[in-house]
Chains A and B, each alone.
Chain A
Amino acid sequence: MKSLKYLLLIAKVGGEMRVAVVGVGYSGFNANTPDLSWKEIMYEAASRAYVDAGINPRKDVDSFVTCAEDIYEGFAIFDEFVPDQLGAVVKPTCTISADFLYGVATAYMQIKSGLADIAVVEAHSKASDIQTFGEVIKFAMDPIWLRRIGTAHPYYIAALEMSYYMQKCCVTEEQIAQVVVKNKNNAMLNPSAPYGEKIKLEDVMSSPKLFDPMKKLEIAQRSDGCVVFVLASEEIAREITDSPIWVKGVGWWSETSNYDTMSFMGMYAHKAAKMAYKLAGITNPAREVHFAEVDDRFAFKELQHIEALQLAKRFETATLLEEGYFDRNGALPVNVSGGNLGIGNLLECTGGQKALEVVLQLRGEAGKRQLKDVEIGVAQAWRYLPTASGAVAVVGI
Chain B
Amino acid sequence: MEVEKIKGLKFHKKQDVAIVGAGMTTWKRRLNETGKELSYLAIKQALEEAGISFDEIEMVVMGSAPDTFDGLHMKGEYLLDGSGGSDRPYMRVFVGGGTGVFAPIAGYWHVASGLADVCLVVCEEKMSSSHPHPQSAFKYIWDPILERPLNPNLIWIFALEMRRYMHVHNIKHEDIALVSVKNKANALDHPCAQVAEKITVEDVLNSEPMALPVRRLDVSPPSDGAAALIMVAPHIARRLTDNPVWVTGVGWALDTTMWMNRDLYFPRYVAEAAKMAYRMAHITDPRKEIDVAEPYDPFDYKELHHMEGLGLAKKGEAPILTREGVTARDGDLPVCPSGGLLGVGNPIAATMGVKACEIYWQLAYRAGKRQVAKEVTTGVCQAWGDLMQVGTVMVMSNKR
> CA–CA, A93 to B98, complex, Å?
11
Which of A74, A76, A102, A111 has a CB less than 8 Å from the CB of B66? A76
List, in ascending order, chain A residues with CB within 8 A of B268's CB: 90
> CA–CA, A34 to B62, complex, Å?
35
Which one, A156-164, A248-256, A318-326, A364-372, is touching chain B? A248-256
**Is there a chain A Cβ closer than 8 Å to B266's Cβ?**
no
> CA–CA, A110 to B71, complex, Å?
31
> CA–CA, A286 to B191, complex, Å?
56
In A270-323, the 8 Å CB interface with B consists of 271-272, 275, 279
Q: Are B95 and A389 in touch, CB under 8 angstroms?
A: no
List, in ascending order, chain A residues with CB within 8 A of B21's CB: none
Given A94-B252, A275-B89, answer yes or no on A139-B72 (Cβ-Cβ < 8 Å): yes
Q: Are A75 and B141 in touch, CB under 8 angstroms?
A: yes
Which of A80, A90, A108, A256 has a CB less than 8 Å from the CB of B96? A80
List, in ascending order, chain A residues with CB within 8 A of B140's CB: 74-76
Q: Are B114 and A254 in touch, CB under 8 angstroms?
A: no
Return B152 CB to nearest CB of chain A, in Å.
13
Given A76-B140, A140-B72, A383-B74, answer yes or no on A82-B254 (Cβ-Cβ < 8 Å): yes
A380-392 interface code vs B (CB 8 A; 1 in, 0 out):
0001001101000
Return B91 CB to nearest CB of chain A, in Å.
6
Given A76-B138, A136-B73, A140-B74, answer yes or no on A254-B87 (Cβ-Cβ < 8 Å): yes
B105-133 interface code vs A (CB 8 A; 1 in, 0 out):
01011101111000000000000000000
List, in ascending order, chain B residues with CB within 8 A of A210's CB: none
Q: Are B87 and A95 in touch, CB under 8 angstroms?
A: no
List, in ascending order, chain B residues with CB within 8 A of A83's CB: 254-257, 389
A73-91 interface code vs B (CB 8 A; 1 in, 0 out):
0111101111110001111
Which one, A49-57, A112-120, A216-224, is touching chain B? A112-120
**Is there a chain B Cβ closer than 8 Å to A174's Cβ?**
no
Write the chain A residue with the least CB distance to B90.
A254
The winner among B110, B252, B389 for most chain A CB atoms within 10 A is B389
Q: Are A12 and B12 in touch, CB under 8 angstroms?
A: yes
Q: Are B80 and A256 in touch, CB under 8 angstroms?
A: yes
List, in ascending order, chain A residues with CB within 8 A of B253's CB: 90-93
Q: Are A254 and B77 in touch, CB under 8 angstroms?
A: yes
**Is there a chain B Cβ closer than 8 Å to A150's Cβ?**
no
> CA–CA, A254 to B102, complex, Å?
21
Q: Are B92 and A97 in touch, CB under 8 angstroms?
A: yes
> CA–CA, A64 to B110, complex, Å?
17
B132-145 interface code vs A (CB 8 A; 1 in, 0 out):
00000111110110
Which of B108, B109, B389 has a CB less than 8 Å from the CB of A80? B389
Q: Are B90 and A389 in touch, CB under 8 angstroms?
A: yes
**Is there a chain A Cβ closer than 8 Å to B11's Cβ?**
yes
Given A89-B256, A98-B92, A254-B87, answer yes or no on A77-B141 (Cβ-Cβ < 8 Å): yes
> CA–CA, A143 to B258, complex, Å?
35
Write the chain B residue with the least CB distance to A8.
B9
**Is there a chain A Cβ closer than 8 Å to B352's Cβ?**
no
Return A348 CB to nearest CB of chain B, in Å.
10
Return B104 CB to nearest CB of chain A, in Å.
13
Return B174 CB to nearest CB of chain A, in Å.
33
Given A93-B253, A257-B78, answer yes or no on A13-B9 (Cβ-Cβ < 8 Å): yes
**Is there a chain B Cβ closer than 8 Å to A166's Cβ?**
no
> CA–CA, A92 to B393, complex, Å?
11
B244-274 interface code vs A (CB 8 A; 1 in, 0 out):
0000001111111110000000001100110
Given A83-B254, A112-B14, answer yes or no on A143-B71 (Cβ-Cβ < 8 Å): yes
Which of B9, B92, B250 has a CB less than 8 Å from the CB of A12? B9
- Interface size class on chain B is 35 or more
List, in ascending order, chain B residues with CB within 8 A of A71's CB: 67-68, 73-74
A-B contact count (CB 8 A): 205
Which of A79, A257, A383, A386 has a CB less than 8 Å from the CB of B94? A79
**Is there a chain A Cβ closer than 8 Å to B13's Cβ?**
yes
Q: Are B65 and A81 in touch, CB under 8 angstroms?
A: no
List, in ascending order, chain B residues with CB within 8 A of A13's CB: 9, 12
> CA–CA, A307 to B181, complex, Å?
62
**Is there a chain A Cβ closer than 8 Å to B386's Cβ?**
yes
**Is there a chain B Cβ closer than 8 Å to A7's Cβ?**
no
Q: Are B91 and A94 in touch, CB under 8 angstroms?
A: no
**Is there a chain B Cβ closer than 8 Å to A142's Cβ?**
yes
List, in ascending order, chain B residues with CB within 8 A of A387's CB: 74, 77
**Is there a chain A Cβ closer than 8 Å to B369's Cβ?**
no
> CA–CA, A92 to B11, complex, Å?
14
Q: Are A84 and B73 in touch, CB under 8 angstroms?
A: no
Given A114-B13, A139-B72, answer yes or no on A257-B77 (Cβ-Cβ < 8 Å): yes
List, in ascending order, chain A residues with CB within 8 A of B85's CB: 254
Return B200 CB to nearest CB of chain A, in Å.
35
B49-81 interface code vs A (CB 8 A; 1 in, 0 out):
000000000000000011110011111111111
In B2-56, the 8 Å CB interface with A consists of 9-14
Given A94-B102, A114-B11, A253-B89, answer yes or no on A389-B80 (Cβ-Cβ < 8 Å): yes
> CA–CA, A93 to B93, complex, Å?
11
**Is there a chain A Cβ closer than 8 Å to B86's Cβ?**
yes
Return B94 CB to nearest CB of chain A, in Å.
5
**Is there a chain A Cβ closer than 8 Å to B88's Cβ?**
yes
**Is there a chain B Cβ closer than 8 Å to A9's Cβ?**
yes
Q: Are B68 and A76 in touch, CB under 8 angstroms?
A: yes
Return B63 CB to nearest CB of chain A, in Å.
10
List, in ascending order, chain B residues with CB within 8 A of A102's CB: 91
Q: Are B77 and A383 in touch, CB under 8 angstroms?
A: yes
Q: Are A253 and B88 in touch, CB under 8 angstroms?
A: yes
Q: Are B12 and A96 in touch, CB under 8 angstroms?
A: no
In A9-27, the 8 Å CB interface with B consists of 9, 12-13
Write the chain B residue with the least CB distance to A92.
B252
Q: Are B139 and A96 in touch, CB under 8 angstroms?
A: no
Given A69-B74, A92-B251, A258-B81, answer yes or no on A77-B385 (Cβ-Cβ < 8 Å): yes
Q: Are B66 and A77 in touch, CB under 8 angstroms?
A: yes
4 smallest beta-carbon distances between A and B, as pairs? A113-B112, A112-B113, A139-B73, A93-B254
Besides the contacts A83-B255, A83-B389, A93-B254, what 18 more A-B pairs have beta carbons closer than 8 Å? Answer: A12-B12, A71-B68, A84-B257, A91-B272, A93-B253, A94-B93, A94-B254, A98-B92, A113-B108, A113-B114, A115-B112, A139-B71, A254-B85, A254-B86, A254-B87, A257-B78, A257-B86, A387-B77
Chain A to chain B contacts (Cβ below 8 Å), 18 pairs: A69-B67, A74-B140, A76-B137, A77-B96, A77-B385, A82-B254, A83-B255, A83-B257, A83-B389, A90-B269, A91-B272, A106-B91, A114-B10, A114-B112, A115-B109, A140-B74, A140-B78, A271-B87
